[in-house]
Chains A and B, each alone.
Chain A
Amino acid sequence: MTDEIGRPSVAVWKFASCDGCQLSLLSAEDELLTIAGQIHIAYFLEATREVADGPYDISLVEGSITTPADAERIRRVREVSTTLITIGACATAGGIQALRNFSDMEAFRSLVYAEPRYIDALAESTAIAEHVPVDLELRGCPIETSQLVEVINAILAGRKPVTPTHSVCVECKLQGNVCVTVADGTPCLGPVTQAGCNARCPAFRRGCYGCFGPAESPNTASLASWLTDELAVEHPELVRLFRTFNADAPAFRTQSRRHEPDREEVAT
């Protein structure tokens, strides 16, 4: 709820994650104190012990759902939030921990823990939107601070936030980067990955590895066959390429499954 001086309340929630996306808010060094003056930070455990009761105008949710307790907690967060925004690859696609979705969970548990029975974990790591309605998703592993500031500004101004859904390729062209795939033969997910990072990797002569997840209408099948035909990228590299920080985003998941050796019968 807005406070006595009319500022909207903001809560920051953490599920399975690395803390990097909520840290992006503290990393807005130039804007943080100004933002903090415009909003009422009602719940942000990483920053303060002060906890104000809900409901909250805006909830920023970091992390994926990986335990039965968290599957319950996210429902309660939804109930006390007017606008729920997921921040980062874990919250929007299950994150790197969604690699378990492609494996045998029991084997995972016993590989890491001597007494697996103490560990209460779900077989899959899932995005927040698979559990509750989400009002806005911010992509990235991690999110870009500038996009988070844009979203907060937009909400304060009552307008729609500007977050592009085109591909990283567009950002490379805007920046005048030489194409790493064409010029260097480096496999790059830029053609199918959503913009937002300003093409950081290609600017460092590295192929994009998909931090922002699939762009709008990504032609992952075409990119995969091109990589195989032109650069001889095959199993297991092709599977690994699509299966990292947004492994369980539908377009990337489908593509990586197609290139598993025992899945060749899957229609393309």
Chain B
Amino acid sequence: MSHSHDRTISVEALARVEGEGAMHVEVADGHVERVELRIYEPPRFFEAMLRGRDYTEPPDITARICGICPVAYQLSAINALESVCGVDTPDGPAMPDGIRQLRRLLYCGEWIESHVLHVFLLHAPDFLGYQGAIEMAADHRELVEMALRLRKAGNTLLEVIGGRAIHPINVRLGGFHRAPTPAGLEALIPELQWGREAAVETTRLVAGFTFPELTQDHAFVALRPDIDTLPPGATGYPLEGGRLVSTTGIDAPITAWPDHLHEEQVPHSTALHGRMRSGETYLVGPAARLALNLDRLPDDLAALAEEVGCTAPVTNPFRSIIVRALETVYAFDEALRLIAAYDRPEPAAIAVPPVAGVGHGATEAPRGILYHRYGLAEDGTITDATIVPPTSQNQPAIEEDLEGFVQQHLHLDDDDLQWQCEQAIRNYDPCISCSTHFLDLTVTRR
């Protein structure tokens, strides 16, 4: 059966992804006929729940969409809501730079926590041939211990600034409930310095993995901060905002999102699928961010990117793990820079009175752009909410990868093909909890 021309590969519940998904691939006469990444994670209807709530509530409510990247939800919501309310427009309240920089510092904590979770605990076991990190720890204990220590460094940053690592409590519209003390942040420096070096070591380590062959020519979409908005000393790799840019020529403010990108429903998924208005699939995430922001790396990191072969666009999705490690180094670097420049904002938040209207906001979640749009009534009641998570944008491209990969690897037996297909899905660090509004692998060989 395993080498016949007609076969089905099915994985009913994918492991080492965040949430519930499955995969189904059908092969007939040696050709891949159907590939589905099924997302059966039950829908939770966040966009409907937000209607009628107060405009101050989305940072706490939408954080609960994802326990791995709550800060992404909080800050995308805040960007959209503050934009409705005219923050930083001539007639609106001005956001102090100190609060913006503290938000970026908080986001560095989440990038570290999430990237390290994925690189070591979810993805590395595929490359090293283990079922999971716990099994991997039996042979590579020092590696898993390093991973846990790295994650702890990120989580500690989240705790100190956000008040809690999962679903931070200190983030609010207008700023923070209480800004951390300089001493509280300075205490983190030694561990962040260790983490920076450990992340460099990690980048070199994962760059030495053996990568299955696959070249995919996906369009990349990412954010790119406007150079004029950067404070002194910042290189401006995208985290907490920026313009919408793509390898297909998009260069627009985030308010133009609906003009360029949209979501459609497909029968096999509780996640909506993202597409360009032109109908093309596209990719968001580490490979897209790096390709569109290579010039935004500090010199030493650009040199590291060159050393590990990531200066040309990363078109083999299996190599995304290297970019994730490289971005982890960036997050440590940036955290250290921001702490050195920290000037405790006083007050910790500005007043943001409600304004009727519609606002757009986006940030770079660890897995890619997370877009929010809200409509507000005059009293601040939410009239409409739209949330576009990174995994729903990537889902069509993931299916294209699977199709291409299976076609080129039909010589593998079912077990190996299934595992490598799973690995191909994990290349995108899919967050299924997020994308449901969002994954099921079966391969049928007929």
Which residues of chain A have a CB within 8 Å of any CB of chain B?
14-24, 26-27, 29-30, 32-33, 36, 41, 44-51, 66-67, 70, 95-97, 99-100, 103, 107-109, 111-115, 118-119, 121, 125, 141-142, 197, 200-201, 203-206, 209, 211, 236-237, 240, 244-245
Contact = CB atoms under 8 A, between A and B. Distances in A.
A111 B48 contact: yes
Contacts of A121: 42-43, 45
A100 B66 contact: no
A50 B135 contact: yes
B44 A205 contact: no
A94 to B, nearest CB: 11
Contact of A245 (B64, B166, B172): B64
Contacts, number: 179
B431 to A, nearest CB: 8
B166 A113 contact: no
Interface stretch (B142-150, B234-242, B278-286, B393-401): B142-150
8 nearest A-B residue pairs (beta carbon): A20-B67, A48-B132, A50-B131, A108-B48, A29-B152, A97-B44, A49-B15, A29-B148
A8 to B, nearest CB: 15
Contacts of B57: 240, 244
B64 A66 contact: no
Given A14-B20, A47-B16, A244-B60, A118 B117 contact: no
A111 B384 CA distance: 10
A245 to B, nearest CB: 7
Contacts of B172: 206
Contacts of B18: 19, 46
B410 interface: no
Contact of B48 (A26, A112, A209): A112
B132 A18 contact: no
B201 to A, nearest CB: 18
Contacts of B13: 45
A48 B134 contact: yes
Contacts of B165: 27
Given A46-B16, A48-B131, A113-B272, 7 more contacts: A17-B433, A18-B70, A19-B66, A41-B134, A49-B422, A121-B42, A244-B57
B420 to A, nearest CB: 12
A111 B163 CA distance: 34
Interface of B is mostly: loop
Nearest to B266: A118
Given A36-B137, A205-B178, A240-B53, A97 B45 contact: yes
B166 to A, nearest CB: 4
Interface residues of B, number: 66
B275 interface: no
A112 B270 CA distance: 10
A213 to B, nearest CB: 14
B67 A33 contact: no
A227 B179 CA distance: 27
Contacts of B446: none
Contacts of B42: 15-16, 66-67, 70, 121
Contact of B64 (A14, A70, A95, A108): A95
B426 to A, nearest CB: 10
B437 A113 contact: yes
Contacts of B163: 200-201, 203-204
Contact of B135 (A48, A107, A115): A48
B68 interface: yes
Contact of A29 (B15, B43, B155, B267): B155
B402 interface: no
Contacts of A119: 43, 270
A27 B18 CA distance: 14
B374 to A, nearest CB: 14
A32 B148 contact: yes
Given A33-B137, A47-B132, A50-B135, A111 B16 contact: no
A249 to B, nearest CB: 15
A66 B44 contact: yes
24 contacts: A14-B20, A18-B66, A19-B68, A20-B68, A21-B67, A24-B166, A33-B141, A33-B148, A45-B14, A47-B121, A47-B134, A48-B135, A66-B43, A97-B44, A111-B47, A121-B43, A141-B64, A200-B169, A201-B169, A206-B178, A209-B169, A211-B167, A244-B61, A245-B64
A33 B142 CA distance: 11
A203 B70 CA distance: 20
Nearest to B176: A204
Given A19-B66, A100-B49, A204-B177, A118 B16 contact: no
